[in-house]
Amino acid sequence: MSEFLTYKGKPLVRKGNEIYYGDMREKYVIKLEILSTKKEGDLDAADKVKVLLLLSDTDLSYKSRIVKTSEKSGLYEAMDIGSVWLERELKKNA
């Protein structure tokens, strides 16, 4: 059993307002930054989310690791585009 939550078979890890999607042993990962939230009932829901496709090589500077970036409305849209970007890049570099 995995120690992480998964989405489409890849690890999903949250720390504060950041969510990482993907396996750090692969060449790319997705980082989601929750920029703002809105109230939905008693819960805070992500409103604006920055999506970044990153090289997973932590020896590189953060800025040079950024491959693509976008801003989406809501976590669903952000995860949707992030998972597409990640799958495409991993297939290209397989």
Number of Cβ within 10 Å of residue 36's Cβ equals 10
- Give the tokens for residue 13: 């890890």
**What's the confidence (pLDDT) of residue 73?**
95
pLDDT per position as a tens digit, 33-56 = 999 999 988 988 899 999 999 999
Residues in contact with 24: Cβ distance below 8 Å, sequence separation at least 6, in sequence order: 56
pLDDT per position as a tens digit, 57-70 = 999 999 999 999 99
Taking the complete model, does pTM exceed 0.85, yes or no? yes
**What's the confidence (pLDDT) of residue 29?**
97
Longest pairwise C-alpha distance within the chain? 44
Q: How confident is the model at residue 2 (pLDDT cuts 50, 70, 90)?
A: low
Over range 56-85, report the average pLDDT: 95
Three-state DSSP at 3 gives coil
Sheet holding 43-55, edge to edge: 5-7, 10-15, 18-21, 28-40, 43-55, 66-73
